[in-house]
Amino acid sequence: MTPLFSIIIPVYNVAPYLRECLDAVLAQTFTDWEALCVDDGSTDDSGAILDEYAAKDSRFRVFHQLNAGVSAARNRALDVASGEWVTFLDGDDRFKVVRLANLSKVISMHKEVDWIHETLYECNSTPEVHHDFNVTTVRVFCESVYVFGWELLRGNALLWLNSYRRTSIGAIRFPLGVRYAEDDIFALRCLAQCKVLLTVGFCGYWYRDDRAGAASRNIEVENSILIHKLLLETVCEQKGIIEDLPDKERFAKVFSQTVRKDFNRVYRKLLKASRQLRRKHGVIAVEIGRLSFFKMRYVQYYKFGYWIYMKTGFLLPMQIQDLGKRALSKIWRCTIGRVKKSCGY
């Protein structure tokens, strides 16, 4: 029988916390679920703990693989998921006991929904949050879903706050080789398939934010660059959807804010990197001209900034906003000396 929920749990060296995580799944008041646990080459007792729980309850399905990263682990689970809905849980976090019950209520009330986003969560560094399910916190979006989804993800893109109808995921998978923010790209690709999005204001997830080695601890330069590149490429892939949007200006605004914030992060990291690293990643510039269909000033800015970066390895300060021909000429004249000095040209 097809379960309502497939819970995807990637696991890597979280043995001290794993039993607490799995016990919280077992304690769910809603019982129609399967837990797809992928041991991503753990070197501690995590794999053995997973096997122990699978032996006790057949709803736990365990898969062992060589270490390939969290994206590969989640993709392995997505390949075998059979639930009508897919939700995510990290091996060192836990669900609150009523989370699946609350989600099932929302699904039964709104059978057309493809994506449920929870607006609240709790972590160990903050006071406990008591927000039970209340129908008044439910907001359903059937129009401008794509634009609202971007606004939502810009504010809070945490993967485990989202539950997806499995058919809306289809063949979409997490990008490989990315250690942080891979869920942003996954969510944006799913957004293109989403017809009805729903937000609900209950707290069903407990996040451990103080574990040494947690994914959010270290964001490497290479990873930041790769995510920025994937973000731009994802938007290019969705050009057809964007061109048909009735509110292009609203989308252009949120896209501009998102990309500028993301590019600022890459820029700051590269300024601290070595000259060799800056040169190495000069080739990351995707054909940014493909984004010119927005006809927005910031696109021209990025085209120019990337052109300089590709040629010289020098990054323009994000504070430069005047994009007129005279300003560009002045920018170039003021920049060329610094380029030669800092990059050896």
pLDDT at 221 over 70: no
Q: How far apart are CA 201 and CA 134, in angstroms?
A: 8
Q: pLDDT band for 204, please (50, 70, 90 cuts).
A: confident
| Burial class of residue 119 (count of CB atoms within 10 Å of its CB; 0-12, 13-18, 19+) | middle
Mean pLDDT to the nearest integer, 53-68: 97
Nearest to 11 by CA among 75, 99, 89: 89
Nearest to 105 by CA among 85, 81, 126: 85
Rounded to two decimals, the pTM is: 0.79
Angle subtended at Cα 214 by Cα 168 and Cα 257, rounded to the nearest 5 degrees: 55
Q: pLDDT band for 179, please (50, 70, 90 cuts).
A: confident
Mean pLDDT to the nearest integer, 280-286: 45
How confident is the model over 316-337, as pLDDT tens digits? 444 433 433 444 444 444 444 4
Strand partners, 9: 37
Q: How far apart are CA 81 and CA 192, in angstroms?
A: 21
Q: How far is CA 109 from the centre of its chain?
A: 27
Q: pLDDT band for 219, please (50, 70, 90 cuts).
A: low
- What pLDDT, on the 0 to 100 scale, is given for residue 267? 60
Which percentage of the chain shows pLDDT scores above 70?
A: 66
Q: pLDDT band for 164, please (50, 70, 90 cuts).
A: very high
Asked if 120 and 168 count as a contact pair (C-beta separation under 8 A), the reply is no
- What pLDDT, on the 0 to 100 scale, is given for residue 187? 92
Mean pLDDT over the full length of the chain: 77
Nearest to 119 by CA among 106, 108, 110: 106
Query: CA dist 127 to 50, 205, 239, 287, Å?
Result: 30, 14, 43, 46
Q: pLDDT band for 254, please (50, 70, 90 cuts).
A: confident
Higher pLDDT, 182 or 283: 182
Mean pLDDT to the nearest integer, 140-144: 81
Nearest to 47 by CA among 25, 71, 22: 22
- What pLDDT, on the 0 to 100 scale, is given for residue 292? 39
Mean pLDDT to the nearest integer, 338-345: 42
pLDDT at 18 over 80: yes
Instruction: Spell out the domains of the chain, with CATH numbers in brackets.
Output: 5-207 (3.90.550.10), 222-343 (no CATH)
- What pLDDT, on the 0 to 100 scale, is given for residue 299? 45
pLDDT at 41 over 90: yes
How confident is the model over 74-87, as pLDDT tens digits? 999 999 999 999 99
